[in-house]
Amino acid sequence: MVSEILLVGIGGFIGANLRYLVSGAIPRINEIPAGTLAVNTIGSFVLAALTFTSVEGTLRYMISVGMLGSFTTFSTFAYESFRLLDEGESKHFLMNIGLNLSSCLFAVYLAYIIV
C-alpha cells in the first residue's frame, strides 16, 4: 500500500510538471485555451491506451491516478469555459466545450483502434 501511494505521488509530480510545460507552451487560439485542450486530449488518449492494454498493478496506478490525474485538468477547463461565458464570449465558450469533448472522445477512440 505504501509503495502504491509513493508511486501515485511520483506520478503526480511528473504529471503536474508536464501539465505546466505543455499548457504553458501552447498559446490561446482565437480565445480558446488551447493548452488545456491539448493536455485533456493527450491525457484522454494515454489513459484510454493504458486501459485498453494489459498494464496492471502499481505502474497503472502511477500513470493513471498519479501522472494523468495531475496532468489533465477538468477543473481548469470548467473555469476557463465559465470565464469565456462571463466575458460575453458565447461563441468561444461553445467552441471550447465542443472542442474539448470531441477531441477527448476522438483520442479515446484512436487509442482503442491503435491498441
CA distance 63 to 41: 16
Instruction: Identify the three-state secondary structure at position 22.
Output: helix
Q: Would you say 58 is a known binding-site residue?
A: no
Q: Would you state the cell numbers that stand for residue 57, as one nine-digit string?
A: 498493478
CA distance 114 to 99: 22
Q: What is the DSSP letter of 62?
A: I
Q: Would you say 53 is a known binding-site residue?
A: no
CA distance 19 to 68: 9
Single-letter residue type at 81: S
Binding positions are: 69, 72
Binding positions for Na(+) are: 69, 72
